[in-house]
Structures are given as structure tokens and as C-alpha cells.
Structure 1
């Protein structure tokens, strides 16, 4: 998808695994944002963000000792005049933080660090992404525009992205409202969190806890995805049931729900020839900025119960009914005919209580 590129620069973090870190190659000037090669590179990175194997975790900046200097640098850049110097200065702060964090990780490796200020779908973002060279190519000396074709766009190694609009929304919200607002996201390899973590900590990222929002969205949006596809719509009710069972099990086990496992559930309904494409589309949809389901999240017990039950609390009586047990046919456990609610198959214990009352 096309983007409006405002500022872009690529620095180099010089670090080989198990070797001492070297001085970073920090550029003094931005790259030409209107250059087609540069635009294609940034669009390629943006397109990878949130896709399968590059799923994003959502969050906010740290507030304590782990915050570092970048969040304040971003705040200063956001409020400053938009120009090359202010952009470069913000990226220099980020590079210093990356250097300090990577230096303490013997197994960490460096790479090219792309910074971009861009607009997509009328939303402005500040992107930081680590990219590597394609196998078989070696970029030496100054990184030139013509060298960008040698950047490997098959996957993101590490990345962080700040949504300007949500950042402002968070700043204007009260403490309760802030719990459901995540203005930044980050991508980090799941198979090597210890090594990859330096990138995330360098930017002062902290995973948020939008458990209620994610718990609801993962079911609602997965069902919507199925309903929008003619071959999948007939399976949306069964998918919903399986997702509720999955979330309930995860909540009971006090384990996080994972997009990779939700994808596996959805794949049961995909045809073999479309499975990979549909799975990638579903994960990208759920993990997008618009929907905001992170790669992992804690299941919100209260929200899950609200989604699966009808709860009524009046002055004279209270009812909590499982939605799956309510129907408009006489054989339903809770039969509703528009005026009356009939309870079939009363539990023995409840019948004993009623017999005792009327006995």
C-alpha cells in the first residue's frame, strides 16, 4: 500500500555476534524521500510489519528506570518543527541507545537501522526497523541509494513503530482509559528473545495489557473475516465456538492466548489450496494497527464472561445464562418464545431446592 514518506535515513549498528561492538555508522543527512528505490524499500518494510512471522506486540513507552532516552527524544521530535535536523537528532538518540544495549549482548548482531517518518491511511508513524543484507551481497563503505536493492526484505529482524495519533490520544486520556490504548508496536523474533530484546529495550518499549480489547476483538474480527468470505461464512458459528473454548481454556490455565494458535484453529476450515494465503491474511488483519490484537495477550476473564453469557441483575432477581444454551426452539435448555423463558433440564440440586421450598 502506498505511503507518504516524509523523512527517512539509514544508519548502521556495527556488531558481529560474539565480537566487541564497533562505532556506529551514523549519517548526517537523510535520504531523498521522493526517490523511487527508497520509497519501494520503506513500503516493503511497512508491508512486512504485522504479517505472519512478523507479528507485532502492542504497548507503550516505559515510565520507570527502563525508559531510556528515546521516548523523550520522540516527544521532542513530535512537538518540534518538521525538518531534517530534528529528525536526524531523534534517530541519533535511538542509535546511542541501541549501541548501549547491544554492547551488553555478546550474541547480538547489528545491521542497518532504517528510520522513517511516514503517513499511511492518513495516520502518521515513526518507524525504526533493523534490516540485513541479502545473502551473497556485501555492502561496503557508504550506503548509497543504489545499494538498497541488496537489502533483504524477506523478513523483519526487529522493529518498533509509534502511532502519532494514538500517542496523542493516550496523552489526553485518564488512567483508566489509557489501559486500552497502545500507541506503539514492536516486532522481535520469538525464537531468540534474549538476544533480540536489546532492540525493544533500547526504545523503551513495554508490552501493554489490552486484554479486554484483544479478547473481544480476536473473536469478533475472526468471525467477521469468515463472514466476508463466501466459502468460509458457513463455518463462522463453529469457529466462534472453538475460539471461545480456546480462550476459556487459556484463561483457566493462566496462559497467554497466541495468534499462532488462533491461526491453527482457523486453518481447520481452510481448503488446502488456500490455507496459507488465508492464514496470512487473517493474522495480518488481527495484528493490524486498526484491530490491534497482539501476537500474545492475556485473556480477560470479565470480558470473556460477558461475551459468552447474558447477565441480568434486577431488584427482585438475577440471571446468568450461557449464550450457547439459549434458543428459540422448545428443545433448548433455555427456551425463549418472545415473552417467556422456559428452563428445561433443571439440575437435580436445583430441583431439590425447589421441592424443599414447596414441600
Structure 2
């Protein structure tokens, strides 16, 4: 994670027992005062969420026919984004909390807890990435919030490792989507169970988004290829990672088993698998993938091993590991192929003679 700046944080409380319909809310009237420990807490929450497995990616429903069908949460956040002041943040969080209460009352399985709204900025290479998160944590999972004042007791670090449900909105990507510069997802959701995900997705107005096998495979391959470049690994290490990834995915495909990203990370980066997972979820990586891919596109998968170029009657295909050794791109848009076997040269000459 890059440099972290907390903009606003507030805590509200929704009291609701499982399988009971009625819920009660307690709203805080002002934001949590920023201190070094509160800022560290907010950063820890963001990191904890990023490390969590089982996230789903989505975007707001925007194909409604009637204005009444417009997602309320989207309406609340759009109002806030017009002017991200402290007062507007408080208003946004209160409206959203009241609305979530209504959704929870329609879902008997839902359980109340502390609802944290966080507006923060991550600074990477002098670029600001803005995020807004809504996180629900059960009361029994932390004793460091005062129920009367909803203050966070900041003399000790609060352990929020068990996030019940949560939603993160990548504001930069959302604005790009609004400007029609991208069609990619900008919301990520973390449900602990399908029952919980239903009401929280409905609360956020997030559609049931599913990437195609082709898109998932392409994004996965890009994450495998670009991370070693991002980390400035050697060519030998890059080749090793690609081969290990290809073999792992092929084995899963043959067994008709899903590709779990955490398992793949442990296989190709056993020393530090979490760093690759963090990269996948980082703002710098534009290729988002599901935490579990049910099926891969075999044609696209081959890009992990082979580089293929077609240009004006030329069809060139070779193993990527050969680049820099037997194959090289030189000046004047030319490619040199070295050290072909005698057998291949003889065959090539025979064919050229036959055609000429």
C-alpha cells in the first residue's frame, strides 16, 4: 500500500439480533477525530480488507427503467461526491445507515454491529486514489468502541480482523465509468456468506456481475505477467513464474477444478504469496480478477507460454522464454531469429526452393 491519508471516518451502530426483524440504530453526530492511532486503524482496516479472500467485484445498477428503481446508496454517494466536505460525509453516512437498517429488517439472518464509513486516499507515485468504504463489524468482535458515544478508544489498536460484510468503492474508477472512459467494475464486496451478500449487495445497489471466462483468463494472465515487471524481477525469474503458473492452471483445468487465487499465489510465490495478492487488489493494477475462477479460456491461457504476432502475411509464434536468446527485436522494426537447427534450415530452404 502507498502513503495513506484519512479524510473522514465515522461510526454508527445498528442493533439487531439474528432471526429477529426489528432493528434499532444509533447515529453519531460528528466524525471521529483524526489522531495518529485512528489513522493507523483506518489504514489497517483498508489493508485487512485488501488481504481478505472471497471478494466479488461489481458496479451500480444503472439500467433501471423507473427513477424509483435508482439505487438509493448510489444517490447518496453521488450527492456526497459533488462536495466531499465533513458535513456532507456525515449526512451521507446517516442516510446510508438508515437505509441499511431497512434492508436488514427484510433479512432475518442479518446481524447488527458497528457500521464504519471511511473516506481515504492512497497516494502511489504522486497520484491520488480515493476510496470510500462501508464496513460492518459485529459487536462481539471488538470491545474498543464506546456504545454511548460511538467513540473509538484509540489508546489501544482495535482488532477488526473479522469483517462481517463490507463494500469498497474505487472513486477514481467510478468517475471514469461515469465519464464513459471505462466499463470496468469499481465496487468490491466482501460477504462472509451468500445470505449476507444478498442484502448488502441490495443495500449498495450493486448488480450481480460476472466476468466471462475469457475476461477472467486475460486479466489473470496480465496479473501474472506484469507483477514480475512491477517488482523488477530477472528474466529467469519471470520465465520461472510463468511456467509454474501455466502448469498449475493446466493441472486444475484437467481436473476440472476452479482456480483459487490464494492457491495459485502460494504455488508461484511460496515465500510471500500475499504480496502478489496485494498487487492484484492495488489501484496500480487495472486487471481485476475474481478470487475464484471456475473455468479458464484455453486459447487465452496459451499467452502465458507463447507470443503470437500476425502482420501482412507473416504469422510468427514462439515460446516467450526464447526472447532475448534465439529471438530478438532490433532497430528498424526488425526481428532476428538465431540458431535454428540444421533440420529446420534444410526444411525451410526446400520449401523456399519449391515455391520459387
Alignment of 1:83-122 (within 5 A): 83-84=86-87, 86-121=88-123, 122=128
Distance across 1 between alignment mates of 2:318 and 2:337: 19
SS in 2 for 1:215: helix
Partner of 1:350: none
Aligned position for 2:136: 130
TM-score after normalising by structure 1: 0.73
| Closer/same/farther in 2, CA of residues 329 and 64 from structure 1, 3 Å limit | closer
Q: Which of 315, 322, 333 is matched with 1:319 structurally?
A: 315
Quickly say closer, same or farther: Cα 1:279–1:310, change in 2 above 3 A: closer
Name the structure 2 match of 1:214: 219
Q: Could you tell me how far 1:141 is from its partner in structure 2?
A: 4.0
Cα 1:73–1:211 change in 2 (3 A) is: same
- 2:139 and 2:228 mapped to 1: Cα distance? 39
Q: 2:80 aligns with which of 54, 77, 82?
A: 77
Task: Return the offset for 1:150.
Answer: 8.2
User: Secondary structure at the residue paired with 2:336?
Assistant: coil
Maintained 8 Å contact 2:137/2:160: yes
What's the offset of the Cα at 1:168?
A: 1.6
Between the aligned partners of 1:30 and 1:256, the Cα distance in structure 2 is 46
CA contact (8 A) 1:225 1:282 kept: no
The residue that corresponds to 2:190 in the other structure is 187
Deviates further, 123-132 or 147-156: 147-156
CA distance 1:76–1:146, change in 2 (3 Å): closer
Residue of 284, 290, 304 corresponding to 1:290? 284
Equivalent position of 1:58 in the other structure: 57
How far did 1:306 drift? 4.6
Q: 2:16 maps to which residue?
A: 15
RMSD of the TM alignment (CA)? Answer: 4.0
In structure 2, stretches of 5+ residues that fail to align are 328-334, 345-350
CA contact (8 A) 1:118 1:124 kept: yes
Deviations 1:188-234 (A, max 9, x none): 23xx2223432233112244646366223321144347754x9xx85
Decide which moves more: 218-227 or 154-163. 218-227
Q: Distance in 1 between matches of 2:244 and 2:45?
A: 34
Name the counterpart of 1:166. 173
Matches within 5 A, 1:217-228: 217-224=222-229, 228=233
Task: Quote the offset at 1:312 in angstroms.
Answer: 3.7
Whole-Å separation in 1 of the counterparts to 2:147 and 2:284: 40
Gap regions ≥5 residues in structure 1:
331-336, 347-353
Please say if residues 165 and 191 of structure 2, whose CA atoms lie closer than 8 Å, have aligned partners that are also in contact.
yes
Residues 13 and 217 from structure 1, CA distance in 2 versus in 1: closer, same or farther, beyond 3 angstroms? farther
User: Structure 1 residues 142 and 304, CA, compared in 2 at 3 Å: closer, same or farther?
Assistant: same
Tell me the equivalent position of 1:44.
Answer: 44
Q: How does 1:202-281 map to 2 (within 5 A)?
A: 202-206=203-207, 207=209, 209=211, 211=216, 214-224=219-229, 228=233, 235-247=237-249, 257-267=259-269, 270=270, 275=271, 278-281=272-275
Per-residue deviation, 1:323: 1.9
User: Are residues 89 and 212 of structure 1, via their aligned partners in 2, closer, same or farther at CA, if it must alter by over 3 Å?
Assistant: farther
Equivalent in the alignment of 2:163: 156
Residue 50 (structure 1) shift = 0.9
Closer, same or farther: CA 38–169 of 1 in aligned 2, 3 Å: same
The aligned counterpart of 1:334 is none
Residues 239-277 of structure 1: per-residue CA shift (max 9 Å, x gap) = 21122344456678887643122123225xx3xxxx4xx
Q: Secondary structure of the equivalent of 1:264?
A: helix
Secondary structure (helix, strand or coil) at the match of 2:273 reads: helix
Give, in whole Å, the separation in 1 of the partners of 2:266 and 2:246. 14
Report what 2:331 is aligned to. Answer: none
Q: Which residue of 1 is the match for residue 336 of structure 2?
A: 338
* Cα distance in 2 between the residues matched to 1:2 and 1:323: 39
Query: What is the aligned partner in structure 1 of residue 25 from structure 2?
Result: 24
SS of residue in 2 equivalent to 1:3: strand
CA–CA distance in structure 2, aligned partners of residues 165 and 303 of structure 1: 29
1:145-167 CA deviation, whole Å, 9 max, x = no partner? 25465853223222212222222
Aligned in 2, Cα 1:14/1:72: closer, same or farther, shift over 3 Å? same
